[in-house]
């Protein structure tokens, strides 16, 4: 029975929970067995909390299935940047390697109220910095398609758990592509929602919107199922949006079709590996089979690099200066660099970055008056060797820092658009490539409908979950 459950979709699992054909405890048993079988090869879920999960499952099972919330007792892992009460929460940092919080993040409380059962924490880079999931506490998460390669990040543990069948759904977060990059590298789906859709606990900058919490899953419908359980306002998050009655799972199944879409190989701002660009453009052209107009185009995002680097550095300085002062010797060099970059910003630098962001935002709004969706690569390279801390070069272009290779995703972060990465194809080395689909701000339902349409047209031959594949 375990194998049968692991291979089912999340939507199928929730249906079984609601009919009483399986219990939350059955699912936890299946996951524990699967984790023992495959997680040692990838290191996706380094912290397990099955005792806590079984206690929650026992309570859930005293209620009728329809009374357990929309997830009905579905197990969900939480990224190790987000606190879960009574569970080791390290942020991937030696500073917090022994930290067990007394309270959970708002996001976790919201998910649990909607029927999620937390059973694990997924691996992440230190403080989510850098799109390669490794840290000094738990080590590296490896790519299930080739364990010599990176799973990307910073939601790399979440993505690898989905790809290997140690999760049906997973939580992640995204500032510079941290939901989209690992989804691309691991052959699953990851969505950065419109700012405010998902409430979370706020730290030092309560109105910030560069970072967003979001859902990950093996397919678009499953992702929409989790998204439905994540959305909604909570008083502890002053910028969270109220539910508006939209069923995002319903939107993914609506059959909506765009009239005209744009495809870009590089958004005009970054080098892209030609094989990746070819795979993505071929996938985007599938829309033509449905009578949809496909044109090469993208909004003007020329200021993306300077704008994002300044605002990201500001967020690091705002949130982490006390850690630099007290624990400099325990921080990885990339984090130190980012904090110091933020501390060196002048008021004029910040004003310039905010104005650049506003200008790009308004140009993007105008772009979506012509196009329903924008498609482009989710990452500019296939999965790279895990020992490389980041991508230093692409197509002869050497990047100035460890963040610049992420421009194709952080440009979208700048302009507050919802974006999703879904599998688009495979390289000659049989490594996954994701296509990033972007919609206008607040058009999350339209985005999910378009993603489901393309997913159906692509009909990927190789499905997840897979057994980890050793590589060299």
Q: Catalytic amino acids?
A: 79, 154, 178
Helix (H), strand (E), coil (C) string for the chain: CHHHHHCCCHHHHHHHHHHCCCCHHHHHHHHHHHHHHHHHHHCCCCEECHHHHHHHHHHHCCCCHHHCCCCCCEEEEEECCCCCCCCCCCCCCHHHCCCCCCCCCHHHHHHHHCCEEEEEEECCCHHHCCCCCEECCCEECEECCEEEEECCCCCHHHHHHHHHCCCCEEEEEECCCCCHHHHHHHCCEEEECCCCCECCCCCCCCCCCCCEEEEEECCHHHHHHHHHHHEECCCCCCCCCCCCCCCHHHHHCCCCCCCEEEECCCCCCCCCCHHHHHHHHHHHHHHHHHCCEEEECCCCCCCHHHHHHHHHHHHHHHHHHHHHHHHHHHCCHHHHHHHHHHHCCCHHHHHHHHHHHHHHHHHHHHHCCCCCEEEEECCCCCCCECCCCCCCEECCEECCCCCHHHHHHHHHHHCCCCEEEEEEEECCCCCEEEEEEECCCCCHHHHHHHHHHHHHHHCCCCCCCCCCCCCC
Strands 373-377 vs 260-263: parallel, antiparallel or unpaired: parallel
Identify which of 436, 470, 386, 413 has the alpha carbon closest to the alpha carbon of residue 153: 386
CA atoms within 13 A on the CB side of 337: 10
């Amino acid at each position: 029975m375990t194998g049968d459950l692991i291979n089912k979709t999340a939507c199928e699992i929730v249906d079984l929970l609601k009919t009483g054909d399986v219990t939350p405890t059955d699912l936890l048993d299946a996951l524990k067995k699967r984790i023992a079988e495959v997680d040692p090869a990838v290191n996706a879920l380094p912290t397990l909390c099955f005792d806590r999960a079984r206690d929650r499952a026992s309570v859930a099972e005293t209620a009728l299935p329809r009374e357990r919330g929309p997830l009905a007792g579905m197990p969900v892992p939480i990224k190790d940047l987000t606190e879960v009460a009574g569970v080791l929460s390290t942020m991937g940092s030696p500073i917090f390697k022994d930290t067990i919080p007394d309270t959970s993040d708002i996001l976790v409380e919201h998910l649990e109220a909607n029927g999620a059962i937390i059973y694990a924490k997924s691996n992440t880079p230190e403080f989510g910095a850098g799109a390669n999931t490794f840290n000094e506490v738990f080590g590296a998460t490896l790519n299930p398609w080739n364990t010599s390669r990176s799973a990307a990040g910073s939601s790399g543990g979440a993505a690898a758990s989905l790809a290997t069948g140690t999760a049906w759904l997973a939580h992640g977060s995204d500032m510079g592509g941290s939901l989209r990059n690992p989804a691309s590298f691991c052959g699953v789906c990851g969505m950065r929602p419109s700012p405010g859709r998902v409430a979370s606990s706020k730290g030092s900058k309560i109105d910030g919107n560069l970072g967003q919490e979001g859902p990950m899953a093996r397919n678009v419908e499953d992702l929409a199922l989790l998204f439905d359980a994540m959305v909604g306002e909570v008083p502890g998050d002053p910028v969270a949006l109220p539910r508006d009655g939209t069923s995002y799972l319903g939107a993914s199944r609506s059959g909506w079709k765009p009239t005209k879409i744009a495809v870009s190989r590089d958004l005009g701002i970054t080098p892209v590996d030609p094989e990746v660009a070819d795979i993505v453009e071929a996938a985007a052209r599938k829309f033509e089979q449905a009578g949809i107009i496909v044109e090469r185009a993208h909004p003007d995002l020329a200021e993306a690099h300077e704008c994002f680097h300044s605002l990201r550095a500001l967020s690091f300085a705002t949130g982490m200066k006390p850690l630099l002062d007290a624990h400099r010797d325990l921080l990885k060099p990339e984090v130190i660099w980012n904090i110091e970059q933020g501390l060196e910003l002048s008021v004029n630098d910040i004003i310039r970055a905010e104005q650049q962001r506003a200008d790009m935002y308004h140009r993007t709004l105008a772009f979506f008056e012509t196009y329903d969706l924008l498609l482009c690569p989710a990452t500019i390279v296939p999965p790279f060797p895990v020992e490389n801390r980041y991508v230093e070069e692409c197509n002869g272009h050497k990047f100035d820092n460890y963040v610049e290779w992420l421009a194709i995703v952080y440009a979208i972060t700048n302009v507050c658009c919802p974006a999703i990465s879904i599998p688009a194809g495979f390289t000659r080395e049989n490594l996954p490539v994701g296509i990033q689909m972007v919609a206008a701000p607040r058009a999350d339902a339209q985005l999910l409908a378009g993603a489901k349409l393309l997913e159906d047209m692509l009909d990927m031959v190789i499905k997840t979950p897979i057994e980890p594949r050793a590589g060299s």
